[in-house]
Every structure is written in structure tokens, then in C-alpha cells.
Amino acid sequence: METLELKQELKEKIIEFLNLIDVKPGDIKDDQPLFGEGLGLDSIDSIELIVLLDRHYGIKIKDPKEGRKILVDINTMVDFIEKNRTN
């Protein structure tokens, strides 16, 4: 899968998984911080995103703290997925 395609797919999956009402994929910039000021996600969302990575890309992250280093923005997530996905 092309990187651009993966970014689009990831945005759609994030919106669906986290039930982000009123957010469209086009609203999420690739370098916009996911947590804090940017998209405004919180600690429970970080756990949910770890589950998303497991269910959709077969990547297991055991420790949420490790997860936060990867879950910075779409770019870092896509980069990580491309390197580590198992499905």
C-alpha cells in the first residue's frame, strides 16, 4: 500500500475507532499532534489506538508509555506501521 493511501486509511480508521463525531479525514493534518492541543485525544484514546494497531495492522505494543512515543501524529504512526505491520 502506498504511504498516501495508508495515511488516508489510517485517518478513516482513527475517526471510526474513536468515534470522532464531526471530524473528516481531511480535517486531520499529517503533522498535527494527536494528543493535547492538536486533535485533543487523551490517555484512554492512546490505549484505544494501541488496540487499533493490533487489530488492523497486527502490531502489538505492550506498554502504553512506549505507545505515546509512536502516537505523535499521522506521520509517525504511518512510518511505524509501514515498518512493523504484520497484516
CA distances for 28 relative to 24, 48, 55, angstroms: 7, 18, 22
Indicate which single residue of 4, 27, 29, 64 sits in contact with another protein (rule: CB under 8 A): 64
The rounded distance, in Å, linking the Cα atoms of 27 and 44 is 21
**Contacting range for another protein; rule: CB under 8 A; set: 1-9, 13-21, 30-38, 78-86:** 13-21
Indicate which single residue of 50, 70, 71, 78 sits in contact with another protein (rule: CB under 8 A): 50
Q: 21 near 60, Cβ under 8 Å?
A: no
Indicate which single residue of 5, 21, 36, 87 sits in contact with another protein (rule: CB under 8 A): 21
Q: 20 near 41, Cβ under 8 Å?
A: no
- In the complex, the residues that contact another protein under the rule CB under 8 A are 17-22, 40, 42-44, 47-48, 50-51, 54-55, 60, 63-64
